[in-house]
């Protein structure tokens, strides 16, 4: 029952949904410009079409038809000189009342040979005209807006304010750069030149215009350039060389000019161009290339030559491929300094790990020295990725610190990929165990400065198993003996399969090992001259050198190296078959064994084999009364 003071309004039912608010659509300035351009273009096109198109059609009618408005008398039809009748035009009679203005009639009547023809406007021509006007107007309007937007893109290169991310004042210092002591020493002079250029110009020295940083990816070239800007308190312009190139010819050169002009107004400044080989590579004679890439390179070199010492602007470029740069790009007076940024050594890797471990709670059992020792050939970016992956693993597990197990798993993820769950039979697992055990045992028995870090039969990435072998220290040279030992341990997996399964049951698991063996052997023959052939290089004929004169001789030497390595691996495994069985058994039980566990298995089996056999006890003498007399 409702109260008297309460309005009798129905209560909402569950099925009723609240009404959605109506959105108002407002024309944007670009839409208004598009409409205006379309209307103007339509009007212009319509006027042109109207002036060139015939607007009337003729409709004949018979004599005496009601459509005829007038008929000429017979006696008034004049004849031509040839006797043929000439047409007579009779204007229509006006029916407008007196005192009103007469409108000009658009209808005409022509009488010819007792026939009357009435000419009047056609409505179909008008509709055709309107359709053409709208179509052409729309096309011209859209084209006008497209070219106008492209013109705006050409003029927008550099930031409109100093707060744009392109120009910054980085806070990076040389203390943030680890593992590149030699490169830091080379660029410290650049800092002094930017801070106090008069100190050098006073004695006649010229401030270098450009510095080229080259080296493998991930070694810290961009970080080093930012550190130079931070130490010298200079404005840092960072841009990728690929952003200079666009579809329109001349846009790259325009961007180069604008960039250098902006840097001169904000001196002291550093222009850092990443991946400069995109515009600085050797010029070709291709027509399209000469119109775009060459024009951008020429403008870049022109702006670089125009830099003076008083401008206080230095260009730092980085590349991973210095061999493809144009000779004009590298000549003295342009990029005077060429600084190599190489992969860090073991001490550099330890310093990089310490820098990237800041802010990450490491457990007490984490040993950065061991991580640096097992990661030869890795760049600073790779090491940062390992620590970040370890932090992610610790976060997923919900632990408060990053343990050594997290770092070990992160290392394996970076090197080989994440673990995969595959359905395998016990026979397949045992085959993989013998295969990886053969790799590990041959490498362990040969030694030669190699350490077996771990052996696993857990599938990772594309591999069904993995044997991690690292050098004891960083090596800059490899001997022939070391390469031969590498061939032997690469074949150790296939040799173990032959011993365990037999020649007829070997598997496809050694495909990658055989490819790597062939590559190492070919390098020994073609590049290093480590065979009985003449001591010279034997190019492979892939375009990087002269064609190979005698491929059969090289193939024979490669076959001999691979065959000798295979025999050496088979011999080592045959002599230590009991050790191989013990390693495979341990892998079947644990799936992963460390280098220390592998060393323990090998030492225990070898010691058992070397222990002297216990002699049998001598027979006890017979009792004295037992002799026969």
pLDDT given for residue 109 in this prediction? 63
Q: What is the CATH number of the domain that holds 294?
A: 3.40.50.300
Ramachandran angles phi, psi of 240, nearest 5°: -90, 140
Q: What is the mean pLDDT of the chain?
A: 75
Give percent of the chain above pLDDT 90.
24
Evaluate whether 270 touches 235 at the Cβ level (below 8 Å): yes
- Residue 308, phi then psi, degrees to nearest 5: -115, 165
In a domain, 434, yes or no: yes
Considering the domain architecture, whether residues 259 and 175 belong to the same structural domain is answered as yes
Find the angle CA(388)-CA(460)-CA(387) to the nearest 5 degrees: 10
Peptide bond into 321 cis (omega under 30): no
231, 293, 436, 498: the active-site residue: 436
Does the structure show a pLDDT above 90 at 551?
A: no
What are the phi and psi torsion angles at 208 (to 5°)?
-65, 140
The verdict on 138 and 273 lying in the same domain is no
463 strand-pairing partners: 460
> What's the pLDDT at 291?
52
Q: Is the pLDDT of residue 106 over 70?
A: no
**pLDDT of 487:** 94
The DSSP secondary-structure symbol of 211 reads E
Domain count, the chain: 4
Task: Work out whether the CA dihedral 386, 389, 391, 394 comes out positive or negative.
Answer: negative
Q: Is the same domain home to 350 and 336?
A: no
70-84, 432-446, 484-498: segment of lowest average pLDDT: 70-84
Between vectors from CA 208 to CA 204 and to CA 211, what angle results, nearest 5°? 160
Distance in angstroms (rounded) separating the CA atoms of residues 436 and 580: 10
For residue 251, what pLDDT is reported? 54
428 is catalytic: no
Confirm whether 94 is domain-assigned: no
**Residues 142 and 265 placed together within one structural domain of the fold:** no
* pLDDT value of position 448: 77
Higher pLDDT, 421 or 515: 515
Does 393 share its domain with 485? Answer: no
Residue with tokens 């024009």: 295
Question: pLDDT (tens digit, 9 = 90+) per residue, 163-210?
Answer: 343 668 888 888 888 888 888 888 888 888 878 877 877 887 777 778
Cα–Cα distance, 373 to 362 (Å, whole number): 18
**Who wins on pLDDT, 111 or 492?**
492
What would the pLDDT profile of 282-328 be if each residue is shown by its tens digit? 665 544 444 555 666 777 777 776 676 566 788 888 888 888 887 77
Would you say 339 and 183 are in contact if contact means Cβ atoms under 8 Å apart?
yes
pLDDT at 321 (0 to 100): 85
**Is the C-alpha dihedral spanning 587, 589, 590, 591 positive or negative?**
positive
Can you give the pLDDT at residue 455? Answer: 93
pLDDT band at 160 (very low <50, low <70, confident <90, very high): very low
CB 383 within 8 A of CB 410: no
Cα–Cα distance for residue pair 312/318, rounded to 1 Å: 20
pLDDT at res. 88: 45
Mention every residue, 6+ apart, whose C-beta is less than 8 A from residue 123. none
Q: Residues 585-609: pLDDT tens digits?
A: 999 999 999 988 999 998 888 777 7
Q: Which of 53-57, 396-400, 403-407, 512-516 has the lowest mean pLDDT?
A: 53-57
Query: Average pLDDT, stretch 566-581?
Result: 93
**Is residue 51 very low, low, confident or very high in pLDDT (cuts 50, 70, 90)?**
low
HSE of 491, CA atoms in CB hemisphere, 13 A = 25
Question: Any residues with CB less than 8 A from the CB of 422 and at least 6 apart, and which?
Answer: 459, 464
End position of a domain, from candidates 300, 315, 340: 340
Whether residue 313 sits in one domain with residue 391: no
DSSP 8-state symbol, 560: H
Whichever domain contains 354, its CATH number is 1.10.8.60
- The predicted model gives 537-558 an average pLDDT of 68
Mean pLDDT calculated for residue range 480-487: 93
Give the structural domain span for 402: 346-416
What is the pLDDT, as a whole number, of residue 119?
54
* 534 shares its domain with 588: yes
Residues 435 and 558 in one domain: yes
pLDDT at 162: 38
**Is 100's pLDDT higher than 60?**
no
Write out pLDDT tens, residues 291-300: 555 666 777 7
The per-residue pLDDT for range 345-390, each reduced to its tens digit, is 889 999 999 999 988 999 988 888 888 988 888 899 999 999 999 9
Q: Is residue 305 part of a domain?
A: yes
What per-residue confidence (pLDDT) applies to 238? Answer: 80
Mean pLDDT calculated for residue range 483-506: 92
Structure token digits, residue 393: 């693993």
Indicate if the pLDDT at residue 20 is higher than 80: no
Query: Which residues, including other chains, have CB under 8 Å from residue 474's CB and lie 6 or more apart?
Result: 345, 346, 376
Is 145 within the bounds of a domain?
A: yes
**Cα–Cα dist 227/177, whole Å:** 8
Average pLDDT of span 256-269: 78
29 Rama sector, left if φ>0, alpha if ψ -120 to 50, beta otherwise: alpha
Residues 600 and 464 in one domain: yes
* Angstrom distances, CA of residue 17 to CA of 8, 11, 21, 214: 21, 13, 12, 65
pLDDT at 56: 47
273 and 382 in a single domain? The answer is no
pLDDT band at 435; cut points 50, 70, 90: very high
Confidence label for 11 from pLDDT (cuts 50, 70 and 90): very low
Calculate helix-pair angle for 551-575, 426-446, nearest 10 degrees. 100
- What is the pLDDT at residue 402? 93
Is residue 104 included in any domain, yes or no? no
On whether residue 366 sits in a domain, the answer given is yes
Q: Which of the two residues, 260 and 86, has the higher pLDDT score? A: 260
Residue 580: pLDDT over 90: yes
Is residue 47 in a domain? yes
The residue-averaged pLDDT of 231-259 equals: 68
SS3 313: strand
State pLDDT tens for residues 198-241.
787 788 777 777 888 999 998 989 899 899 888 888 888 887 76
Are residues 322 and 433 part of one domain? no
Averaged pLDDT, 117-135 = 62
User: Domain ends where: 290, 320, 340?
Assistant: 340
Q: Are residues 324 and 442 in the same domain?
A: no
| CA nearest neighbour of 442 among 427, 457, 455 | 455
Q: Tell whether the model's pLDDT for residue 477 goes beyond 50.
A: yes
The pLDDT value given to residue 447: 77
User: Looking at the domain assignment, is residue 619 inside a domain?
Assistant: no
């Amino acid at each position: 029952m409702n109260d008297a003071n309460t309005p009798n309004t129905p209560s909402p039912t569950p099925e009723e949904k609240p009404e959605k608010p109506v959105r108002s659509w407002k024309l944007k300035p670009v839409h208004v410009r598009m409409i205006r351009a379309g209307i103007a273009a339509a009007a212009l096109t319509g006027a042109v079409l109207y002036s060139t198109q015939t607007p009337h059609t003729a409709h004949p009618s018979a004599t005496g038809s009601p459509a005829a408005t007038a008929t000429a008398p017979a006696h008034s039809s004049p004849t031509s000189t040839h006797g043929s009748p000439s047409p007579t035009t009779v204007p229509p009679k006006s029916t407008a009342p007196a005192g009103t203005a007469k409108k000009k009639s658009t209808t005409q009547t022509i009488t010819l040979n007792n026939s009357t023809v009435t000419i009047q406007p056609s409505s179909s021509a008008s509709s055709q005209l309107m359709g053409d006007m709208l179509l052409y107007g729309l096309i011209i309007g859209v084209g006008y807006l497209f070219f106008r937007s492209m013109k705006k893109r050409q003029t927008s290169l550099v930031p409109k304010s100093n707060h744009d991310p392109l120009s910054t004042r980085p806070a990076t210092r040389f203390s943030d750069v680890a593992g590149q002591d030699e490169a830091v020493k080379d660029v410290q002079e650049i800092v002094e030149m930017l801070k106090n250029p008069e100190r050098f110009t006073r004695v006649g020295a010229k401030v270098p215009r450009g510095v080229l940083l080259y080296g493998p990816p991930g070694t810290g070239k961009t970080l080093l350039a930012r550190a130079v800007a931070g130490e010298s308190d200079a404005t840092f312009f960072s841009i990728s060389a690929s952003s200079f190139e666009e579809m329109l010819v001349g846009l790259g050169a325009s961007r180069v000019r604008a960039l250098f002009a902006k840097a001169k107004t904000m001196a002291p400044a550093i222009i850092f161009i990443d991946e400069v080989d995109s515009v600085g590579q050797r010029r070709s004679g291709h027509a399209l290339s000469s119109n775009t890439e060459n024009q951008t390179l020429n403008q870049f070199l022109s702006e670089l030559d125009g830099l003076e010492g008083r401008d206080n602007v230095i260009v730092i470029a980085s590349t991973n491929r210095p061999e493809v740069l144009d000779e004009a790009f590298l000549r003295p007076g342009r990029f005077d300094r060429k600084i190599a940024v190489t992969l860090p050594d073991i001490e550099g890797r330890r310093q990089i790990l310490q820098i990237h471990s800041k802010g990450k709670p490491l457990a007490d059992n984490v040993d950065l020295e061991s991580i640096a020792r097992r990661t030869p050939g890795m760049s600073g970016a790779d090491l940062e990725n390992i620590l970040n992956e370890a932090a992610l693993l610790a976060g997923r597990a919900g632990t408060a610190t990053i343990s050594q197990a997290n770092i070990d798993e992160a290392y394996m993820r970076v090197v080989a990929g994440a673990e995969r769950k595959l359905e395998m039979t016990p026979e397949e697992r045992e085959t993989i165990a013998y295969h990886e055990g053969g790799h590990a045992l041959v490498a362990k028995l040969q030694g030669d400065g190699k350490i077996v870090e771990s052996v696993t039969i857990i599938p990772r990435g594309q591999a069904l198993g993995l044997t991690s072998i690292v050098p004891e220290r960083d090596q800059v040279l490899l001997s022939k003996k070391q390469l031969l030992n590498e061939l032997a341990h690469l074949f150790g997996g296939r040799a173990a399969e032959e011993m365990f399964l037999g020649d007829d049951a070997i598997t496809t698991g050694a495909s990658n090992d055989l490819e790597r063996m062939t590559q190492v052997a070919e390098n020994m023959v073609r590049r290093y001259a480590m065979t009985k052939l003449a001591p010279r290089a034997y190019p492979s004929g892939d375009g990087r050198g002269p064609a190979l004169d005698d491929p059969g001789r090289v193939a024979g030497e490669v076959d001999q190296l691979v065959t000798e390595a295979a025999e050496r691996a088979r011999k080592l495994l045959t002599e230590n078959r009991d050790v191989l069985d013990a390693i495979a058994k341990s892998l079947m039980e644990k799936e992963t064994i460390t280098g220390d566990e592998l060393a323990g298995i090998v030492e225990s089996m070898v010691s058992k084999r070397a222990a002297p056999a216990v002699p049998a006890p001598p027979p006890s003498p017979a009792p004295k009364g037992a002799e026969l007399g």
